[in-house]
Chains A and B, each alone.
Chain A
Amino acid sequence: MTARFAATELNLSNYRTERRYRLMLFSMTAMLVLPVLIILGILVLKGAPMISWEFLFEFPRRGMTEGGIYPALLGTIFIVVVDLIFAMPIGVAAAIYLSEYAPDNWLTRTINLAIINLAGVPSIVHALFGVGAFVIFFGFGTSILAAALTVAIMTLPLVIVATRESLQAVPQAFREACWSMGASRWQTIFAVVLPNAISGILTGLILEVSRTAGETAPIMFTGAAFFLPFLPESVFEQTMALSLHLYVVSTQVPEVPEALPYGVALVLIGIVLIMNAISIVFRSYLRGKKKW
């Protein structure tokens, strides 16, 4: 009875069609990924010669056509740090509320809709909000503080979503066991839920760093300066930032050597991609050592 299992004409043609579609879909996926890899390759090729100790740790010279990116690099770090101080506590609190407290009602649905919209509102509209609220209304002026707050609100959904996912991954049975011992909601969250969601929270933090470092529009009118010959001394001062510096040297400054913006772009994308790579590695490492 072997004949029963032999390929029929129909089976064969089905098989061929299937292979054709599979190949088509694979090439579409490749078309999406390949150009970007090529582009990244070009960035590395053209930008790598720029990278040197001096490039990273010197001030720009001669109208930013020479010298390094030190104040921009440091300014990005300042903005990121201040951003984290606001975005992490608010984002984690919001995630804890949504995962641990929120009943299924209209308010929760509204919060979720607000989070989606916070992520969906254009970055330049966030910039306008930052100008109207932090620069003018709260009187912070164009400053690191105003810029960091603007970016923090814009990127809040990132922290909320990453944290909420990891909180919800903690089995409900752990909470119930804790509650039944007389632990309060907060004692339960603190003793059982948070320690087991810490990986997700850290992933959110790393992604937040990467996002914040790359944002340009929300900081360009709220606290980032085109050029400053000195470093900021408080959060109420302006600063240079790497992302804006890339925009400036590639569009606003005449006679910039061709390689310079490639160098800036490479440093910026290097920071962002390394951060993301860390979060990916970190996630798969932690997935391997789950406690249950």
Chain B
Amino acid sequence: MSENTLAPSQLDQRDASWYVDKLVQILMFVGGISAIIFIIGIFVFITKEGLGFLFEGFSFTEFFGSINWRPTSANPTYGALALIVGTASVTGVAMLVAIPFSLGAAVYISEFATGRTKETLKVLVELLAAIPSVVWGFIGMSIMNEFIIEVFDVPIGLNVLNAGIILGLMAAPIMTTIAEDALKAVPDRYREAAEAMGATRWQIIRQVIMPAAKNGLVSAVLLGVGRGFGETMAVLMASGHAINIPTSPFDSVRALTATIAAELGETAQGSEHYGALFALGILLFIITFIINLAADLVVRGIRKK
């Protein structure tokens, strides 16, 4: 054991592996903070491009109070109210579809289904979540469009209902997964304790598990809303893309996201219209940021308890 006779001063050398370790640590740290850099980058760049419009063409009352989005007319107006209402109405219908079904499915998968059924359902939900939004949009335009025209006897099937259902089906798998995670996180001893007192499964779910998983369920709904708000291609293709304050689910509407997607290609970089589209982007960024922050705070609420 020759090294045993060495003094620490000889052993204590910063060798190559020590420096490699430090270097890797720095690289990993850069990877770690990249997410922060990108989020800030997104905000900075969309603000940078939208800034010109915000200082010149932008009027707060027109933007939020007018339904006239006429960027290409001789006297352009940028009223985003109809777009905001369009997005909200589609998201609203989507949540009416998605919330009950995804929470129901989450409860069934987490509390009732066992073995093979459970695995199969989870795999199906995962595959549902993987279907690209442009495919959903195509389904809305073709299959769902015909279906709505047939069933409700309306002239146009591209409307709030169509986009809402499509968006609901898109958001549901994610909401189901998050809600199921929340239910699964409720410790088994709660179930066992309630069972020992003679409660039925449904009583346990209603009175023990749902309250215990409340925050996770709320956060699942919030993330579903955020998802609905931000969805682009499917809404563009299924909503009819007409500027309109809807009075019935069979009215066509236009969403914030869809407006950007449809118009950005036709604007000149740096023009007022171009800036206005980035301003819509800033609005979307802020709304979804707040929704995600809220969902995160709600989830953290559980951990504190």
A and B touching (C-beta < 8 Å)?
yes
Once bound together, how far apart are the Cα atoms of A117 and B293, in whole Å? Answer: 8
Q: Is the CB of B201 within 8 A of A18?
A: yes
Categorize the interface residue count of chain B.
35 or more
Q: Are A124 and B232 in contact (CB under 8 A)?
A: yes
Interface stretch (choices A52-60, A96-104, A228-236) = A96-104
Contact with B along A94-132 (1 / 0, CB 8 A): 111110111000010011111111101111111111011
Q: Residue among A98, A156, A186, A207 with the most chain B CB within 10 A?
A: A186
Q: How many residues of A contact B (CB 8 A)?
A: 94
Residues of B within 8 A of A18 (CB): 200-202
Given A14-B200, A18-B200, check contact A185 B29 (CB 8 Å): no
Residue from A100, A156, A207, A216 within 8 A of B35 (CB atoms):
A156
**A46 to nearest B CB, angstroms?**
8
Binary contact readout B216-259 vs A (1 if CB under 8 angstroms, 0 otherwise): 00000001001101111100010000000000000000000100
User: A130-173, CB under 8 A of B: which get 1 and which 0?
Assistant: 01110011000000000000000100110010000000000000
Q: Total A-B residue pairs with C-beta atoms closer than 8 Å?
A: 275
* Contact, CB under 8 Å: B257 / A122: yes
B272 at interface (Cβ–Cβ under 8 A)?
no
The answer to whether A184 and B20 touch across the interface, beta carbons within 8 angstroms, is yes
A264, closest chain B residue (CB): B138
CB of B87 to closest CB in A, whole Å = 10
Contact pick for A250, options B18, B113, B142, B202, CB 8 Å: B142
Partner of B105, one of A28, A116, A213: A28
User: How near does chain A come to B84, taking the closest CB pair, in angstroms?
Assistant: 14
When the two chains form their complex, are residues B284 and A220 in contact, meaning their CB atoms are under 8 A apart?
no
Cross-chain contact B138 with A102 (CB below 8 angstroms):
no
Contact (Cβ within 8 A) A39 B230: no
User: Given A17-B202, A28-B108, A125-B285, is A185 in contact with B223 using a C-beta cutoff of 8 Å?
Assistant: no
Q: Measured between alpha carbons, how far is A209 from B101 in the docked complex, in Å?
A: 29
For the complex formed, measure the closest distance between the CB of B10 and the CB atoms of chain A, giving whole angstroms.
Answer: 16
Question: What's the least CB distance linking B228 to chain A, in Å?
Answer: 10
> Are B284 and A184 neighbours in the complex by a CB distance under 8 Å?
no
**Is A1 an interface residue, CB under 8 A from the partner?**
no
Interface majority SS (helix, strand, loop, mixed), chain B = helix
The answer on a CB contact under 8 Å between B135 and A93 is no
CB-nearest residue of chain A to B231 = A122
**A93:B32 contact, CB within 8 angstroms:** yes
Q: Mark B155-190, 1 if CB is under 8 A from A, else 0.
A: 000000000000001001100100000000000000
Assess whether B260 is interfacial by the CB under 8 Å rule.
yes
Interface residues of A (CB under 8 A from B): 14-15, 17-18, 21-22, 24-26, 28-29, 31-33, 35-37, 39, 42-43, 89-98, 100-102, 107, 110-118, 120-129, 131-133, 136-137, 153, 156-157, 160, 184-187, 189, 207, 210-211, 213-217, 220-221, 243-244, 246-247, 250-251, 261-262, 265, 268-269, 272-273, 275-277, 280
Given contacts A244-B134, A268-B132, 15 further A-B contacts (CB under 8 A): A15-B200, A22-B108, A24-B104, A32-B169, A93-B27, A95-B31, A117-B39, A118-B39, A120-B230, A121-B230, A126-B42, A131-B49, A184-B21, A189-B24, A265-B138
Residues of B participating in the A interface, judged by any CB pair closer than 8 Å:
17-18, 20-21, 24-25, 27-36, 38-39, 41-42, 45-46, 48-49, 100-102, 104-105, 107-109, 112-113, 121, 123-128, 130-135, 137-139, 141-143, 169, 172-173, 176, 200-202, 223, 226-227, 229-233, 237, 257, 260-261, 264-265, 269, 277-278, 281, 284-285, 288-289, 291-293, 295-296
The list of the 7 closest CB pairs from A to B, nearest first, reads: A93-B31, A214-B132, A122-B230, A97-B32, A28-B104, A132-B45, A184-B21
